[in-house]
A = this chain, B = another copy of it.
Amino acid sequence: MSTIVNRRDLDFIMYETLQLDDILKQERYSDYDRESIDAILDLSQSMAEEKFQPFAAYLDQNEPKYVDGKVEIIPEVKEALLAYKEAGFFASGYSYEMGGMQLPWVVHQALSAIFVTANTSATNYIFLTQGAANMLNTCGSDALKATYLPNMVAGDWFGTMCLSEPQAGSSLADIRTKAEKRDDGSYKITGTKMWISGGDHEMTDNIVHMVLAKIPGSPAGVKGISLFLVPKHRVNDDGSIGESNNVALAGLNHKMGHKGTTNCLLNFGESGDTIGYLVGGENQGLANMFHMMNEARIAVGMAATVIGLGGYLYSLDYARNRPQGRHLSNKDPESPMVMISEHADVKRMLMTQKAYVEGAQAMILYSAKLLDEQATANTDEARERATLLLELLTPICKSWPSEFCLEANKLAIQVLGGYGYTREYPVERYYRDNRLNHIHEGTHAIHGLDIMGRKVRMADGAALKALAAEIAETVDTAKSYPDLVGYCQQLGQSLQQIQNTLEAVSKAADPSLALANATIFLDAMGHVVVAWVWLKQAVAATKGLVDCSASDVNFYSGKLAACKFFYRYELPTATAKFDLVASLDDTCFNLTGEQFIGH
Interface residues of A (CB under 8 A from B): 1, 6, 8-9, 164, 167-171, 173-174, 194-195, 220-223, 253-257, 313, 316, 319-320, 323-329, 332-334, 337, 339, 341, 343-348, 350-351, 354, 406, 410, 413-414, 417-418, 420-424, 428, 431-432, 435-436, 438-440, 443-445, 448-449, 510-513, 515-520, 551-552, 554-555, 557-558, 561, 564-565, 568-569, 572-573, 575-576, 579-580, 583, 585, 587-599
* Interchain CB contact under 8 A, B174 and A329: no
Report the bound CA distance from A164 to B1 in whole Å.
Answer: 29
If the complex has contacts A169-B418, A435-B421, A598-B558, are A593 and B320 also in contact, measured as CB distance less than 8 A?
yes
Contacts of A436 in B (CB 8 A): 421
Query: Would you give the shortest CB distance from A435 to chain B, in whole angstroms?
Result: 7
Which residue of chain B has its CB nearest to the CB of A174?
B337
* Interchain CB contact under 8 A, A333 and B435: no
Contacts of A421 in B (CB 8 A): 255-257, 435-436, 439
Report the bound CA distance from A300 to B572 in whole Å.
Answer: 32
Interface centre among A223, A510, A599 (most CB of B within 10 A): A599
Query: Would you give the shortest CB distance from A454 to chain B, in whole angstroms?
Result: 12
* Interchain CB contact under 8 A, B316 and A596: yes
Query: Would you give the shortest CB distance from A330 to chain B, in whole angstroms?
Result: 10
Which residue of chain B has its CB nearest to the CB of A345?
B445
Contacts of A348 in B (CB 8 A): 516-517, 519-520, 588
Contacts of A341 in B (CB 8 A): 593
* Interchain CB contact under 8 A, B572 and A343: no
Which residue of chain B has its CB nearest to the CB of A453?
B328
Contacts of A439 in B (CB 8 A): 413-414, 417-418, 420-421
* Interchain CB contact under 8 A, A414 and B438: yes
* Interchain CB contact under 8 A, B565 and A171: no
If the complex has contacts A254-B423, A256-B428, A565-B588, are A595 and B417 also in contact, measured as CB distance less than 8 A?
no
Report the bound CA distance from A489 to B487 in whole Å.
Answer: 32
Query: Would you give the shortest CB distance from A498 to chain B, in whole angstroms?
Result: 17
If the complex has contacts A170-B325, A413-B435, A519-B345, are A350 and B596 also in contact, measured as CB distance less than 8 A?
yes
Please classify the interface of chain A as helix (H, G, I), strand (E, B), loop, or mixed, using the class held by over half of its residues: helix
Report the bound CA distance from A444 to B410 in whole Å.
Answer: 12
Contacts of A168 in B (CB 8 A): 324
Q: Which of B344, B431, B565, B598 contacts A435 (CB 8 A)?
A: B431
If the complex has contacts A316-B596, A417-B169, A439-B418, are A254 and B424 also in contact, measured as CB distance less than 8 A?
yes
* Interchain CB contact under 8 A, A597 and B334: no
Report the bound CA distance from A170 to B108 in whole Å.
Answer: 43
* Interchain CB contact under 8 A, B169 and A324: yes
List 20 A-B pairs, Cβ < 8 Å: A1-B597, A8-B598, A169-B418, A170-B324, A171-B324, A195-B418, A220-B332, A220-B333, A221-B334, A328-B449, A328-B515, A343-B445, A344-B513, A345-B519, A347-B591, A348-B588, A417-B443, A421-B435, A561-B588, A572-B576
Given A351-B596, A417-B443, A558-B594, output 18 extra A-B contacts at Cβ < 8 Å.
A8-B599, A9-B598, A169-B417, A169-B418, A170-B325, A171-B324, A256-B422, A256-B432, A313-B597, A328-B511, A329-B510, A344-B512, A350-B596, A414-B443, A414-B444, A561-B591, A572-B580, A575-B576
Report the bound CA distance from A421 to B439 in whole Å.
Answer: 9
* Interchain CB contact under 8 A, B594 and A554: yes
* Interchain CB contact under 8 A, B591 and A351: yes
Across the A-B interface, the 7 shortest Cβ-Cβ residue pairs: A221-B333, A555-B598, A558-B595, A345-B445, A344-B516, A171-B325, A256-B428
Report the bound CA distance from A555 to B596 in whole Å.
Answer: 7
Report the bound CA distance from A8 to B596 in whole Å.
Answer: 11
Query: Would you give the shortest CB distance from A274 to chain B, in whole angstroms?
Result: 23
Report the bound CA distance from A421 to B437 in whole Å.
Answer: 10
* Interchain CB contact under 8 A, A591 and B558: yes
Which residue of chain B has its CB nearest to the CB of A416?
B439
Query: Would you give the shortest CB distance from A62 to chain B, in whole angstroms?
Result: 14
Which residue of chain B has its CB nearest to the CB of A352?
B588
Query: Would you give the shortest CB distance from A491 to chain B, in whole angstroms?
Result: 16
Query: Would you give the shortest CB distance from A474 to chain B, in whole angstroms?
Result: 21
Report the bound CA distance from A221 to B335 in whole Å.
Answer: 10
